[in-house]
Structure 1
Amino acid sequence: MTTTIPTAPAPARRAPESPAPSRRRSVLARLDARLTPYLFISPFFLLFALVGLFPILYTAWVSLHDWDLIRGQGDFVGLANFQFVLGTDSFYKALRNTFSIFLLSSVPQVIAAILIAYVLDANLRAKTFWRMGVLVPYIVAPVAVSLIFAKIFADQSGLVNNLLMGVGLPAVGWHSDALASHVAIATMVNFRWIGYNALIFLAAMQAVPREIYEAAIIDGSGRLRRFWSVTVPMLRPTIIFVVITSTIGGLQIFDEPRMFDTAGQGGASRQWMTLTMYLYELGWGPQVSFGRASAVAWLLFLIIVAIGVLNFLITKRIAHAGGPSKHKR
């Protein structure tokens, strides 16, 4: 008797997949790869459009009208607000003071930040302590810094004048002399921001490949030569960033000069009144005019954009001038 072994049924042949779903999936995959990055960054641009772009455009609209605090929008005056602002001596005095304080603070600030970052990048004991210590002034409230430094730079019994008179030097009128007041205000700005920028430069220094330093040491370069020929050229992109951000922040300075004295008006002869203080005076002073204040805001905006573009072009050209130079003893 023979037994028959049952055989498994042959698998059913799958129907060939339609090319339409395959093409649809490939299209969706390409759209996902292209759109996903934009979806991730879209919250920033939406927030910027709400709290950044819209106020800028609305300020431009206000600057073209006779705008009142109570009544709101008034008559359309065109460029009359700009003509009024550009025809006053206070605007040019505020512009001069702003640029003076900006230069006295930003230039030493960047140089000191690079030097401090270079020291922090060395083999120090308690590195974390020193790196955290340079950031402490940044977290102090600007009003507190201004009040403290206003006492330090007081004309009669200030700490600085007491030290100067202690070594036989004459006292300085920090609140009466224009240049001295600019130096005092720039000192406040540097006190707050040098440590912050130093940490930015420190992060950039730590990203420099150590093989470059080792090659420079083998070539016989000294410490100063390595700093000037290797470290500084490798920091060029970071220097561009810090210079641009310092320019934007320095031209909008308000807290430090506002709190430098109790009156808060920029001195008896407005010798340290900045553009933002002038804007505040037009917007909330005795003769309130939101249209003129908005005109000052837009003039300041255009100045910052022009100087920012100029800084970017100059530093970009320097950055493309060449890489690290050859190492010499």
Structure 2
Amino acid sequence: MKARGRPLPPQRPATPPTLRQRLTAANRRCTPYLYISPFFLLFLITGLFPLLFTGWVAVHRWDLIMGQGEFVGLDNFRRVLGSPDFWKSTRNTFSIFLLSSVPQVILAITIAALLNFNLRGRTFWRMGVLLPYVVAPVAVVLIFSNLFADRFGVINSLLDLVGIAPVRWHSEVLPSHLAIATMVNFRWTGYNTLIFLAAMQAIPRDLYEAAAVDGANRVRQFFSVTVPMLRPTIIFVVITSTIGGLQIFDEPRLYDQYGRGGADGQWRTLTIHLYELGWTQSDFGRASAVAVLLFLLIVAIGLVNFTITRRIATAGGHR
């Protein structure tokens, strides 16, 4: 090829990169992975390995003292699914989860909307809603166990003042679930309130000003502006509440002095059932099978939430 009738000068061969240049390029490629590697190493040790090992134990006859026994395949799962205690625990888990998570989200959004106003001492009120979260679960359960005591309880005393018969909070199924759900709501409502409050403060004020110009009052602005803008945060809170609600253990475990979920399993959850199989009956095979089934249940509900999330996000994008 010629340029203006003159041949181009011969090109010099590319010089190979020096060792320092190679090390610099490798450093740029590997440094991001080194930064995130501690998380994956910890997850491998404390998350993935226990999960895989639980699946291994679930297909063996495993004793607390003797250790690994013979391979039994899916026999542990058949025994668990054929046990009435498992289905009763599943019912109790979903009942307590629904009684706690649904009111919790509604209360958290409402309190966050009130705290989003220009209140006097708003920092004090915002930090105050977080105090129940930092209280030890044991202290919370001890207080609420006395409040919901079957005899001489504060709640029954208040009900007696208005002519309502005392409720057997530790004997009947639904009252015990309501009492435990109240403890969960007391501890976690403030935590979720701060999450919603942070999301509300990120909403542009121009939207509220435009709604006010159109004649919308505060209630109308809340349902027409605030709630739609909080859609991703609501989905996040619902998913985390679902995972935590299905793994509830502390509150039902400490609700009475025996820690077995009631005399007839009135409030025995799946985690308590798992604990009883593993440490009381020393049957780690069935306990691991319950753990695997609980994991699959959480994954299934997570997939449902993910599907709903995508549909909501798609519907919001077409508006």
TM normalised by structure 1 equals 0.89
The match for 1:291 is 285
Q: Could you say if the C-alpha distance between residues 174 and 40 of structure 1 is closer, same or farther in structure 2, counting changes exceeding 3 Å? A: same
Q: Could you say if the C-alpha distance between residues 303 and 255 of structure 1 is closer, same or farther in structure 2, counting changes exceeding 3 Å? A: same
Q: Could you say if the C-alpha distance between residues 167 and 47 of structure 1 is closer, same or farther in structure 2, counting changes exceeding 3 Å? A: same
Match of 2:256 among 247, 261, 282: 261
Match of 1:308 among 282, 292, 302: 302
SS at match of 1:74: strand
SS at match of 1:100: helix
Q: Which runs of 5+ in 2 are unaligned?
A: 1-10
Q: Which runs of 5+ in 1 are unaligned?
A: 1-15
**Match for 2:242: what amino acid?**
T
SS at match of 2:295: helix
Residue deviations 1:288-309, cap 9 Å, x none? 1001100000000000110111
The match for 1:211 is 206
SS at match of 1:66: strand
Match of 2:84 among 77, 81, 89: 89
- Residues in 2 aligned to 1:116 and 1:21: alpha-carbon distance in whole angstroms: 65
Match of 1:159 among 149, 154, 157: 154
Residue deviations 1:62-89, cap 9 Å, x none? 0011111111111111111101100110
Correspondences of 1:51-200 after superposition (within 5 Å): 51-200=46-195
Moved more, 98-107 or 34-43: 34-43
**Match for 1:52: what amino acid?**
G
SS at match of 1:73: strand
Aligned residue pairs total 309
Shift of 1:40: 2.2
**Match for 2:230: what amino acid?**
L
Moved more, 96-105 or 213-222: 213-222
SS at match of 2:101: helix
Correspondence 1:238 to 2:233: yes
Q: Could you say if the C-alpha distance between residues 226 and 24 of structure 1 is closer, same or farther in structure 2, counting changes exceeding 3 Å? A: farther
Structure number having the greater strand percentage: 2
RMSD of aligned alpha carbons: 2.1
Residue deviations 1:160-198, cap 9 Å, x none? 000000111111111111000000000000000000000
Shift of 1:225: 1.3
The match for 1:318 is 312
SS at match of 2:66: coil
- The answer to whether the Cα contact below 8 Å between 1:233 and 1:323 also exists between their aligned partners in 2 is no
- Residues in 2 aligned to 1:132 and 1:240: alpha-carbon distance in whole angstroms: 24
SS at match of 1:322: helix
The match for 1:280 is 275
Residue deviations 1:110-163, cap 9 Å, x none? 111111111111101111111110000001111111111011000111110000
**Match for 2:73: what amino acid?**
G
SS at match of 2:62: coil
SS at match of 1:67: strand
SS at match of 2:61: coil
Q: Could you say if the C-alpha distance between residues 32 and 234 of structure 1 is closer, same or farther in structure 2, counting changes exceeding 3 Å? A: farther
Correspondence 1:44 to 2:39: yes
- Residues in 1 aligned to 2:68 and 2:273: alpha-carbon distance in whole angstroms: 22
> How much identity, in percent, do the aligned residues show?
68
- Residues in 2 aligned to 1:283 and 1:20: alpha-carbon distance in whole angstroms: 66
- Residues in 1 aligned to 2:41 and 2:222: alpha-carbon distance in whole angstroms: 42
Q: Could you say if the C-alpha distance between residues 31 and 120 of structure 1 is closer, same or farther in structure 2, counting changes exceeding 3 Å? A: farther
